[in-house]
Amino acid sequence: MDARFRFIPVASVLVEGAEALDRIIGPFAEALRGIGGTVTSAEEIAEDLPTFYLLATGGTESRVLELVERRQKAVPGEPVFILAHPGNNSLPAALEVLAKVHQDGLKGRIIYMNGVGDQTALAAVNGAAIDLSVRRTLHSARVGLVGAPSDWLVASMPSGKTVGDVWGPEVFPINLGDLVGRIASVPDDVAAAGADALVGAATGCVEPTRDDLLDVARVSAALKSLVVERRLNALTVRCFDLVLSMKTTGCFALAELTDAGIIAGCEGDLVTTVGLMWTRLMTNTTPWMANPAQLDEAANTLWLAHCTVPRTMVESYQLRSHFESGLGVGIQGVIANGPVTLVRIGGSGMERVWIAEGAIIASGTAENLCRTQAQIMLSDGSVSDLLTSPLGNHIVLVPGHHAARLRSWWETMIG
């Protein structure tokens, strides 16, 4: 993700004119431009780009706080990032400003540039710009809730208001009957094309019949039409009702949407759907939603399993029935061994997060678990946490080691 941001130089009244300002911060401004920054004026503070405050001198505290107040009217709750440098009492002013920002209940931090060539600081600015962009994207996202959350998600039923207030996305409830009607109206040729694509790339097809394949392809086409019509960035579906009422599954549809860049969660689980969106935006990598099915505290390992998985994540897959019902089509994929990060959002206000790192060390084919199965050994974090203080059932897995970045974002934006 390319970082684009604005920074506003702020100097005391004793600094007169652009040349005087440039003598103080010119090299720093040039370094910031080199990583995608643009010098901006106070008049442009409401524009929709991440914004930083570069304190050229001391004596700027009140002016910066005025700018922060104006920015908060345009982007409520946005954390305040202050850039300081070694001279002209920049750092003392930054400390005073951030203390007041925290007193006012806002989040924020100082990035101290200890010289023009401070690559660590420039990397921090770049990372903060990306973090702010992720926040902005989440706060403009539209998430469809197709049907209510499944009844068993007793710890994972936040209101749409909670989702929006804490994480940003606006939730749009959609009657499950709307989806059912769309499924019935999908043309036969569209269903056939979807079924052919699904089975054509599979290494095998065990239980599903041709009719099963056509049915799940219709579900996929119907959900795609909902996404387009409602202008959704993500959705989650009370998918077990499709099993009960139509004898079909949403497993293929949710996998296909996620592969296409539209995060799709199972079981009406808004909490995990937000986790999928967040990890996708932060890592630019496709995530997977799954159940912790088994664990071994002594070995610090756990098995994750689910009947759907984005096909871009797997080395190969075959088509099976949905595990619990024996109906429809589930995807039994093999995710490559390698480093992964596990994430779970939780708490009554979605204000908590559990993050761990490790590696996939095996894939499984157990017949008493959901179809796609991956064993993970944790290197950062403990599976015992899931027994002593769980935040809920579903876990998000994203390939790669991203724990530090995700924790930093959460601490700055949410925690």
**pLDDT tens digits, one per residue of 186-244:** 999 999 999 999 999 999 999 999 999 999 999 999 999 999 999 999 999 999 888 88
Q: Read off the pLDDT of residues 1-54 as tens digits, 9 standing for 90 and up.
A: 455 899 999 999 888 888 898 899 999 999 999 999 999 887 777 677 899 999
Q: Read off the pLDDT of residues 222-238 as tens digits, 9 standing for 90 and up.
A: 999 999 999 999 999 99
Would you say 394 and 312 are in contact if contact means Cβ atoms under 8 Å apart? no
Q: Read off the pLDDT of residues 302-324 as tens digits, 9 standing for 90 and up.
A: 999 999 999 999 999 999 999 99
One-letter amino acid of 12: S
**Domains along the chain?**
5-139 (3.40.50.10940), 142-413 (3.40.275.10)
Strand segments (E) across 247-349: 263-265, 288-296, 301-306, 314-320, 330-335, 338-346
Per-residue pLDDT at 199: 95
In the predicted model, what is the mean pLDDT of residues 94-106? 97
Q: How far is CA 409 from the centre of its chain?
A: 11
In angstroms, rounded to a whole number, what is the distance separating the alpha carbons of residues 295 and 315?
24
Per-residue pLDDT at 3: 52
- In what helix (H) or strand (E) does residue 410 lie, and over which residues does it extend? helix 403-413
Helix (H, G, I), strand (E, B) or coil at 111: strand
Q: Read off the pLDDT of residues 254-293 as tens digits, 9 standing for 90 and up.
A: 999 999 999 999 999 999 999 999 999 999 999 999 999 9
What the block records as the tokens of 193 is 């094309």
Is pTM beyond 0.85 here?
yes
In angstroms, rounded to a whole number, what is the distance separating the alpha carbons of residues 61 and 34?
27
Helix (H, G, I), strand (E, B) or coil at 277: helix
Q: Read off the pLDDT of residues 354-406 as tens digits, 9 standing for 90 and up.
A: 999 999 999 999 999 999 999 999 999 999 999 999 999 999 999 999 999 99
Would you say 338 and 345 are in contact if contact means Cβ atoms under 8 Å apart? no
